[in-house]
């Protein structure tokens, strides 16, 4: 993966209204969440880095600090109500408010119906649905007095079209899509917008090595012929949170290289 400094400097800021606003991004110590954090930091936002692994959180926080970004980092298990409270309290103590919440943290494991046991189901229901629900409630309470703010859920193409071997992950992302629509109706009345982004295949530091032939095989099944990047998801987050999207709420935006538009992969017609 490219160095953080190189990635940061490659971003062209577009939204001056973000200057000194506060963004809390769950699951931002690596992967898609880190790309989102980099984009928002480049736009001038104050950043809260969160993750489950304390060392990863510290590393990412230090990388942003070295770039001059106002940032704090906190490791927290979002299956715990107390840990969610601690995350929001730390954010308020450091920056005084929250303008943008990105619910990105999730358990990404996928298995067949008969392989996914009750322990896995319970964990994904907790981290993939319950945690974003509670975080959105907390953020909305903070945003309510100002009658402004944005909440963005990171969903998946699996919330719309099921993966082969997609349990229980896909069902949790389908729930996130509906949570986005349902909450958006309540929040619209108090000036807060909620949307979701559904990424397709995104190349992250958790993907296979670049030389792995499986990556090319997957890329060939994507209409655009390549994987997406975390910064491309970050670009959509920035747009949805910006003043250019003030009439957009309750939507699920697919950033997937065309995957959900196709009935079957290239060369495999039904």
Q: How far apart are CA 153 and CA 83, in angstroms?
A: 19
Q: How far apart are CA 200 and CA 195, in angstroms?
A: 17
pLDDT of residue 2: 52
User: Is the pLDDT reported for residue 212 higher than 60?
Assistant: yes
Q: Is 133 designated active site?
A: no
Domains of the chain plus CATH, in order, are 19-258 (3.40.50.720)
- Catalytically annotated residue among 15, 133, 169, 254: 169
Q: How far apart are CA 257 and CA 202, in angstroms?
A: 10
User: Is the pLDDT reported for residue 269 higher than 90?
Assistant: no
Q: Taking Cα atoms as reference points, which of 220, 230, 207 lies closest to residue 262?
A: 220
pLDDT of residue 213: 87
Q: How far apart are CA 40 and CA 266, in angstroms?
A: 35
The better pLDDT of the pair 120, 213 is held by 120
Q: How far apart are CA 257 and CA 200, in angstroms?
A: 7
pLDDT one-digit tens code per residue, 143-192: 999 999 999 999 999 999 999 999 999 999 999 999 999 999 999 999 99
Do 73 and 58 contact (CB within 8 A), yes or no?
A: yes
Query: Above pLDDT 70, what percent of the chain?
Result: 99
pTM, entire model: 0.96
User: Is the pLDDT reported for residue 1 higher than 70?
Assistant: no
Do 113 and 166 contact (CB within 8 A), yes or no?
A: no
């Amino acid at each position: 993966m490219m160095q953080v400094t190189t990635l940061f400097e490659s971003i062209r800021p577009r939204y001056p209204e973000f200057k000194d606003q506060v963004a809390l991004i769950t699951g931002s110590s690596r992967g898609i969440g880190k790309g989102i954090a980099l984009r928002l930091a480049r736009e001038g936002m104050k950043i809260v880095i969160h993750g489950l692994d304390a060392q990863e959180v510290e590393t990412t926080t230090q990388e942003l600090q070295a770039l001059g970004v106002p940032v704090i980092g906190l490791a927290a298990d979002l299956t715990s109500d107390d840990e969610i409270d601690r995350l929001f309290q730390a954010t308020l103590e450091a920056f005084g408010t929250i303008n943008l919440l990105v619910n990105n943290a999730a358990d990404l494991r996928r298995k067949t119906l008969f392989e996914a046991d009750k322990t896995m189901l319970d964990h994904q229901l907790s981290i993939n649905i319950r945690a974003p629900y509670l975080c959105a409630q907390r953020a909305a309470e903070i945003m309510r007095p100002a009658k402004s703010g944005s909440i963005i859920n990171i969903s998946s193409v699996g919330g719309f079209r099921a993966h082969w071997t997609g349990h229980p992950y896909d069902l949790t992302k389908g729930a996130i899509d509906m949570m986005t629509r349902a909450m958006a109706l309540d929040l619209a009345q108090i000036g807060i917008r909620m949307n979701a982004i559904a990424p397709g295949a995104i190349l992250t530091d958790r993907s296979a090595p670049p030389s792995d032939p499986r990556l090319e095989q997957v890329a060939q099944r994507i209409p655009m012929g390549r994987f997406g990047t975390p910064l491309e998801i970050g670009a959509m987050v920035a747009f949805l949170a910006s003043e250019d999207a003030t009439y957009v709420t309750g939507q699920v935006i697919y950033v997937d290289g065309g995957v959900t538009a196709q009935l079957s992969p290239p060369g495999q017609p039904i």
